[in-house]
Amino acid sequence: MKRSHRSLGRGSLLLISALMVILDQWSKYWAHSTLILGRPVSFIPGFLQLRLVQNSGAAFSLFTDSTLWLGVLSLLVTLGVTGWIWSQPKRGLWMGLALAFLLGGTLGNGIDRWRLGYVTDFLELIPINFPIFNWADVVINLAVISFAIDAFHERHGNA
């Protein structure tokens, strides 16, 4: 029995992206209005704490104090992904989710860079030494996972 091919149209992709940006910006607003810069607050004991930081670089403290360069890169990625979304009226489910998540996450962190001069991070995993992150970072990782699932399906003929 052949599985049906699910797809997402441009409007759905842009709506998903917009929802990711709204969740990201709301969570950062909440973090700024609730947390004290640098002071940890236990959220899920032994697993996740909240610690507000201002990140002037990228993931893993790469390119620290490169806000302008990273802001331009965010803008270019946003324009590129938007063009990629617009190039076809419909995308397969996993490729569509990958593009929507990438656009939402890039735009969420890009807004911070242009508006604040840094990215607001506040989610900190306790069990491992991992950089503090935010919802936009989670969404970008969901994009990577979705790209991988799409590639797997393409390679194995399971669209």
150 is catalytic: no
pLDDT of res. 1: 37
Catalytic residue chosen out of the listed positions 24, 112, 121, 150: 121
65 is catalytic: no
How far apart, in whole angstroms, are the C-alpha atoms of residue 105 and residue 28? 13
Closest CA to 9 of 78, 91, 84: 91
Would you state the torsion angle of the CA atoms of residues 13, 18, 19, 20, taken in this order, to the nearest 10 degrees? 90
pLDDT of res. 6: 87
pTM above 0.85, yes or no: yes
pLDDT of res. 64: 67
pLDDT of res. 62: 61
Catalytic residue chosen out of the listed positions 24, 65, 112, 137: 137
pLDDT of res. 44: 96
pLDDT of res. 34: 98
Neighbours of 64 (CB within 10 A): 10
Question: Burial of 49 by CB count in 10 Å (0-12 exposed, 13-18 middle, 19+ buried)?
Answer: middle
Domain ranges (residues) in the chain: 9-156
**Residue 36 to residues 33, 92, 108: CA-CA distances in angstroms?**
8, 43, 21
Per-10-residue mean pLDDT for the chain, 159 residues long?
Answer: 70 97 98 97 96 81 69 91 92 96 96 94 93 96 97 80
pLDDT of res. 147: 97
